[in-house]
Amino acid sequence: MKAVVVETDILTPFGPGIDACWDALLANRTSLSPVSRFATTAFYSDYGGTVPGLQYDSETSLVMQMLARLFEGTGTKIPGDAKLLLATIKGEIDLLEKSIINGAGEAGESSLNNLLRKVIDLTGTMGGGMVVSAACTSSSAAAARAAAMIRGGEAECVLVVACDSVTEFIFSGFSSLMALDKIPARPFDKNRAGLTVGEAAGYTLIMSEERALREQRTIIGEIAGWGLSDDANHMTGPSRESEGLIRAINAALDSAGVSAGQVGFISAHGTGTPYNDAMEMRAFRAVFKERNVPVYSIKGGIGHTMGAAGLVEMAIAQRALREGVVPPTVNLKEADEDALGWVADRRQAIVPNSIALVTNAGFSGINTALVLA
């Protein structure tokens, strides 16, 4: 039984919709700029990717503001019996900030289960819900879980919702790890020095192919395979042997019943940190041998959107499959030696009727890989 995507939408620092993000990335533009919603003088960087029009000091959290805009007018697109998977790392962390710093509200209001109840109410889903919080692989892990539920006959319809926001807590955490670049992130660049924090929200509605055809839904694409692993190397650093991501990629290819030779391009995690990008390229070279597959990262355009990253990247990869072209890696000036011939500062054409590989990695050594058709 195939798991197919029938609805998807995103809200990123480029604005609402996949078109806004896709067009900006193809034009090699970045949305990253100095953060103004809180003071950054004490931090390692000033830059972030923030969604325009959000209120940081509002009674409504940043993620709920994004989700309200995202689901406005969706109407009957979301079936009431859909099972809900909410993917996020910190959810309404700004509510916890207000409670601790200003003594406003209750700290417990920021719990992920509380956010889950709000999202159930917002989407009108009644099929039950679950939080998937798996570091920066949260939404790709949720998409994999949704596809597994459908292929295994556990569900006919699953709604994956993803969100994370740029807050002072998040910013200070990455700054304390010295993981931020002082300028906008430069994935796979020879001189990359760290990530840039971004925020986004998105959703994808995944159905069994039978139900999608029965309801005459437009099929956007298929989640054909998936793989998850953990290299258990370090709390924040990936393994320098890349064995975890290699295992996840091979599991995804096996799950899809395809070979590495059928992959037309790779949407990489590509954070811009020295260790992540090197780990990914080592994994890609191990799986694809001497064949240079087009690789790109969108994080130079919108920043690292944390728990929402995988879902946004999946939406862009699905568009790339339909358009037959992948966007440039924004902010790439001089490719690292390991990435030469794989990444580019311009759009790259892909082989017709090929498949896509989307990879993500996160703290604790977790890795996900999705095969999209």
Rg (CA), the chain: 19
Residue 315 token pair: 């939406």
Confidence tier at 100 by pLDDT (50, 70, 90): confident
Q: Is the pLDDT of residue 101 over 80?
A: no
Rounded distance, CA 37 to CA 39, Å?
A: 7
Cα first-last separation, the chain? 14
Residue 372 token pair: 């999209």
The pLDDT of 175-198, averaged and rounded, is 97
Tens digit of each residue's pLDDT (9 = 90 or more) over 51-91:
999 999 889 999 999 999 999 977 668 999 999 999 999 99
What distance lies between CA 34 and its chain's CA centroid? 22
| Residue 307: count of CB within 10 angstroms of its CB | 31
Percent of the chain with pLDDT over 90: 87
* Beta strands 3-12; 221-230: pairing state: antiparallel
User: If DSSP codes are grouped into helix, strand and coil, which group holds residue 189?
Assistant: strand
Rounded distance, CA 164 to CA 114, Å?
A: 15
Confidence tier at 105 by pLDDT (50, 70, 90): low
Cβ-contact 225, 260 below 8 angstroms? no
The pLDDT of 236-265, averaged and rounded, is 93
Rounded distance, CA 237 to CA 226, Å?
A: 23
pLDDT recorded at residue 76: 67
Q: What's the mean pLDDT when you consider all of the chain?
A: 95
pLDDT recorded at residue 140: 98
Please pick, among 21, 136, 157, 163, the residue that the annotation labels catalytic.
136
Please pick, among 21, 157, 163, 269, the residue that the annotation labels catalytic.
269
pLDDT recorded at residue 334: 98
Instruction: Decide if 269 is catalytic.
Output: yes
Confidence tier at 236 by pLDDT (50, 70, 90): confident
Q: In sequence order, what DSSP letters do the residues of 276-313 get, joined into one string? A: HHHHHHHHHHHHHTT----EE-SHHHH-B-GGGHHHHH
Q: Is the pLDDT of residue 224 over 90?
A: yes
The pLDDT of 359-363, averaged and rounded, is 95
Same fold, 3-214 and 224-372: yes
Instruction: Decide if 234 is catalytic.
Output: no
Please pick, among 21, 157, 163, 304, the residue that the annotation labels catalytic.
304
The pLDDT of 358-373, averaged and rounded, is 95
Between residues 71 and 109, which one has the greater pLDDT?
71
Rounded distance, CA 146 to CA 292, Å?
A: 31
The pLDDT of 334-362, averaged and rounded, is 95
What distance lies between CA 219 and its chain's CA centroid? 21
Residue 306 sits at the vertex; the CA angle it makes with 200 and 263, to the nearest 5 degrees, is 95
pLDDT recorded at residue 149: 98
Confidence tier at 168 by pLDDT (50, 70, 90): very high
Q: In sequence order, what DSSP letters do the residues of 122-144 get, joined into one string? A: HHT--S-EEEE-BTBTHHHHHHH
Between residues 209 and 232, which one has the greater pLDDT?
209
> Domains of the chain: which residue ranges?
3-214, 224-372
User: If DSSP codes are grouped into helix, strand and coil, which group holds residue 11?
Assistant: strand
Closest CA to 287 of 330, 250, 340: 250
Q: Is the pLDDT of residue 235 over 80?
A: no
Confidence tier at 152 by pLDDT (50, 70, 90): very high
The pLDDT of 132-146, averaged and rounded, is 97
Tens digit of each residue's pLDDT (9 = 90 or more) over 317-344:
999 999 999 999 999 999 999 999 999 9
Cβ-contact 330, 298 below 8 angstroms? yes
pLDDT recorded at residue 339: 96
Whats the size of the chain, residue-wise?
Answer: 373
Q: What is the CATH architecture of 224-372?
A: 3-Layer(aba) Sandwich (3.40)
pLDDT recorded at residue 107: 62
In this structure, which amino acid lies at residue 281? M
User: If DSSP codes are grouped into helix, strand and coil, which group holds residue 342?
Assistant: coil
Tens digit of each residue's pLDDT (9 = 90 or more) over 289-327:
878 999 999 999 999 999 999 999 999 999 999 999 999
Instruction: Decide if 304 is catalytic.
Output: yes
Confidence tier at 104 by pLDDT (50, 70, 90): low
pLDDT recorded at residue 75: 66
CATH class of segment(s) 3-214: alpha beta
Closest CA to 235 of 366, 367, 364: 364
